[in-house]
Every structure is written in structure tokens, then in C-alpha cells.
Amino acid sequence: MANGLIVCTEYTTHIITGTSPQALSKYLLSSNQGCLVHKTMQFISNSLVWLSHDGLCATTGTDIQVITRAKLGKLSFLYPTAAIVYDDVYYLAHQDGMFVADLRFGAVFYTLTGTADCFHVKNNTLYYGLDNKLYSLFGGSNNRKVSYRSPNYPDGAISTIKNYKTIYVYSSGDLTITIYIDGKRVTSDNLVVGMQEVHIPQQSRLGYYIGFEVAGIGELIELEYKVEGRQNGR
């Protein structure tokens, strides 16, 4: 780091500052966020990112933030093997697949099937090694099926009950949308190309928050809904 040397144990992180052996000083940054595997440490812009027991951590040399906690809670992976940053996107390979953290436009997280023993970038192409063979990570010609689950949206105070009726969706490709109210699945529809109204069953419209899941091959261009207050006790 520009302001010092980051030193991690499994559970703690320190920064060492100073310009000579006689002037070195050690400061504790975190007593519970260490580094599980040194291979997970990578730079993104001016931040150092790595994997701890709680998830993906980041620091600029001061406070440590668990950047996956707000959206994913406590995060753990079996046998992390390699990591790399490519175009400001963090890729982490582990036993069951790849975890991807896209920090360019906020924090967006997703997974890829398949794993890797190592990563390498050459001529602006991202490669991964597996079983002594080298592959291009994005070298395929087929579109990959996507599955995205949104956060829960309370639309104001979470303690206020709302009335959800219609979801307006504009999309392309072959997608399915599933709607959740208070964490429970209330309806699922196959989307047509263009604009479509998705109607929530009347007996399932009341709730405190709403969420969405989209799966398939295509593009969700816009999603809009309006919240109505509960009226006349209904």
C-alpha cells in the first residue's frame, strides 16, 4: 500500500509504516478480519482485496470493510485456489466454482461454473489453468444462462405493509421472472420480448418488502412497479 505494508494472520490484519528499520511502527487494523489464503490478495484501483473468514475484505490502508457482508451475509468457500483482477473485476476460484465481484458500478456479485488452478492475463485476454491445460475464460461462442436474485426492497419503512399488484417488465431473449413478497415466492412468469405486465395474485399482494429473481438467456432492460398503501383494512 502507499501508506504502509499490510500484514495478515488468519484472524488479524496490521499495517506497518516507516521508512527505515529503526522507524517501523505496527498498527492493528482489525482483530477479527485476517486472510485465509495469501493467493486471494489482489489490488483493485487503490484498494487491497482478500478473503477472510467472513467474506471478501477491502482496505485502502485504514479501516477494513467486508464488502460482501451487506448483500450476501457471511461468505465462505471450500479450498480457494487462485484469484485475479481483470478490468476491475475480482475473480476467485475455489473447489465448487468461481466467485466474481464486479466493483465497477457498485458491488455486484455472481458465480461461474467450473474452477481453476490459476489465472493469467496475456494480450488483454483472461486465461485460467486447470489440470495442466490453459483456457480462455470468455472464449466460448454461446451465451451463458444467467440467474440473478435481487435484494429485498422495503420501499420506505419495513414496518409498513404495502400492496403490490403489477410489475412492468421490458426484456429481450428467453427469461423467467419470479417474484417474492416477504421472502415467499408468489408468482413466476415466462417473459415475452418487449413490454409485459406481471400480475401478482390477489391473495398474495400484501407484504412488507418485495424481491425478484430472473433466470435464462437474455437481457432485463427495465423493471418497474408501484407500491400502494393498504386501504380499508385490505
pLDDT band at 172 (very low <50, low <70, confident <90, very high): very high
Q: Give the residue-averaged pLDDT of 181-196.
A: 96
For 11, phi and psi rounded to 5 degrees? -125, -10
Q: Are residues 76 and 92 in contact, defined by beta-carbon separation less than 8 angstroms?
A: no
**How high is the pLDDT of residue 195?**
96
- 93-121 confidence digits (pLDDT tens): 999 999 999 988 778 898 888 899 999 99
* Residue position matching grid coordinates 483482477: 85
**How high is the pLDDT of residue 108?**
86
> DSSP class of residue 72?
H
Which residues, listed in sequence order, are joined to residue 148 by a DSSP beta bridge?
214
Q: Give the residue-averaged pLDDT of 148-154.
A: 90
Distance CA 87, CA 129 (A): 19
Distance CA 216, CA 226 (A): 25
Domain boundaries, the chain: 5-141, 147-229
Answer whether 0.75 is exceeded by the pTM. Answer: no
Which residues, listed in sequence order, are joined to residue 61 by a DSSP beta bridge?
none
Q: Are residues 63 and 29 in contact, defined by beta-carbon separation less than 8 angstroms?
A: yes
**How high is the pLDDT of residue 212?**
96
CATH superfamily for 147-229 is Galactose-binding domain-like (2.60.120.260)
Statement: 5-141 belongs to CATH 3.40.640.10: no
**How high is the pLDDT of residue 80?**
94
